[in-house]
C-alpha cells in the first residue's frame, strides 16, 4: 500500500512540474499576435524598442502600434510580414539587439550628441510624437533627420527620431535616457549616427 501511495505522489509531482515548465516556456515558442496580452508581449515590445522599431509604451498589449512594428521589422529583415511574432521573428530580434553596428544603412552622419531625460527642467514626459520619453528615443532636427526615422548611434544603440528641441538644430542629436545620472554620465559627445530607413 505504501508503494502505491509513493508512486501516486511521484506521479502528481511529475505532472505538476510538467505543467509548471509549460507555463514558463520561453515566448519564442509561442505565437504572439494582435490582441495578445501579458509578459510575453512586454518582452516582444522591449525587443522591438531596443532595436528601434517601436516607440510606444512597453505595456504588454499587442495593439496596432506593436503589430506595425513587428511587420516593419519582418519586412526589413526579409521575413514574411504577417505581424505574428513566432520563434523565427524573436530569434532575429534577439540577434539584432545584440549587434554593435548596423548591417545596412542609407547614410552616416557625424553629430554632436547630448543627453536628456524627462526629469530635466523644461522637459515633459512625452516626445513631440506623443510617446512616453524613454531610452531609445531621440530629439533631432527634422530637416536633417525626419521624425520616425530608425537610427543606430555608436555608443548608444538603436533609436527612433521621435522628438524635437529648441537647441537641436543641424547636426545635433539629443538622446533620451531613463534617469539623470545616466544622462550626465553620457554628457556631450561626437557620435556617428547611422540612418537605417
For 106, half-sphere exposure in the C-beta direction (CA atoms, 13 angstrom radius) is: 7
Residue 51: pLDDT band (50, 70, 90) is very high
Cβ neighbour number for residue 1 with a 10 Å cutoff: 5
pLDDT at 5 over 80: no
Name the residue with higher pLDDT: 17 or 68. Answer: 68
Position of cell 505543467?
19
Q: Classify residue 172 by its DSSP letter.
A: E
Domain limits, the chain: 27-97, 107-195
Please provide residue 145's backbone torsions phi and psi, each rounded to the nearest 5 degrees.
Answer: -130, 115
Split at pLDDT 50, 70, 90, the class of 35 is: very high
Residue with cell 490582441: 35
Q: What is the length of the chain?
A: 197
Give per-residue pLDDT as tens, 149-162.
Answer: 999 998 899 999 99
Q: Which residue has the cell 509531482?
A: 13
**Residue 38 pLDDT > 60, yes or no?**
yes
Q: What percent of the chain has pLDDT over 90?
A: 72
Per-residue pLDDT of 68-121, as tens digits, reads: 999 999 999 899 999 999 999 999 999 988 888 887 899 999 999 999 998 888
Select 107-195's CATH number: 3.40.50.1820, 2.60.34.10, 3.40.50.1860, 2.40.40.10. Answer: 2.40.40.10
What single-letter DSSP state applies at residue 131? P
Average pLDDT, the chain: 86
pLDDT for residue 21: 35
Cα separation of 74 and 80, whole Å? Answer: 6
Query: What pLDDT score does 124 carry?
Result: 86
- Structural contact between residues 65 and 123, judged by C-beta atoms closer than 8 angstroms: no
CA-CA distance, 120 to 154, in Å (whole number)?
A: 24
- CA-based Rg of the chain, rounded to a whole angstrom? 21
pLDDT of residue 120: 85
Does 12 score more than 60 pLDDT? no
Average pLDDT rounded to a whole number, residues 142-149: 97
pTM: 0.75
Q: Distance between CA 112 and CA 123 in Å, rounded?
A: 20
Among 10-14, 19-23, 32-36, 63-67, the least confident range:
19-23
| Residue 166 or residue 2, greater confidence | 166
CATH homologous superfamily of 27-97 equals PGBD-like superfamily/PGBD (1.10.101.10)
Amino acid at each position: 500500500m505504501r508503494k502505491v501511495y509513493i508512486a501516486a505522489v511521484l506521479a502528481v509531482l511529475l505532472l505538476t512540474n510538467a505543467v509548471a515548465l509549460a507555463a514558463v516556456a520561453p515566448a519564442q515558442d509561442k505565437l504572439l499576435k494582435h490582441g495578445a496580452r501579458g509578459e510575453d508581449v512586454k518582452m516582444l515590445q522591449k525587443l522591438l524598442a531596443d532595436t528601434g522599431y517601436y516607440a510606444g509604451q512597453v505595456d504588454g498589449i499587442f495593439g496596432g502600434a506593436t503589430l506595425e512594428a513587428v511587420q516593419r521589422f519582418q519586412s526589413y529583415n526579409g521575413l514574411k510580414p504577417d505581424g505574428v511574432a513566432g520563434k523565427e521573428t524573436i530569434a532575429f530580434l534577439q540577434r539584432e539587439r545584440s549587434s554593435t553596428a548596423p548591417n545596412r544603412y542609407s547614410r552616416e552622419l557625424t553629430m554632436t550628441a547630448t543627453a536628456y531625460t524627462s526629469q530635466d527642467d523644461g522637459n515633459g514626459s512625452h516626445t513631440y510624437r506623443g510617446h512616453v520619453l524613454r531610452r531609445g528615443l531621440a530629439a533631432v532636427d527634422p530637416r536633417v533627420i525626419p521624425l520616425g526615422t530608425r537610427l543606430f548611434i555608436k555608443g548608444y544603440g538603436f533609436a527612433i527620431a521621435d522628438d524635437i528641441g529648441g537647441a537641436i538644430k543641424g547636426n545635433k542629436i539629443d538622446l533620451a535616457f531613463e534617469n539623470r545620472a545616466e544622462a550626465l554620465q553620457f554628457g556631450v559627445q561626437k557620435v556617428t549616427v547611422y540612418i537605417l530607413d
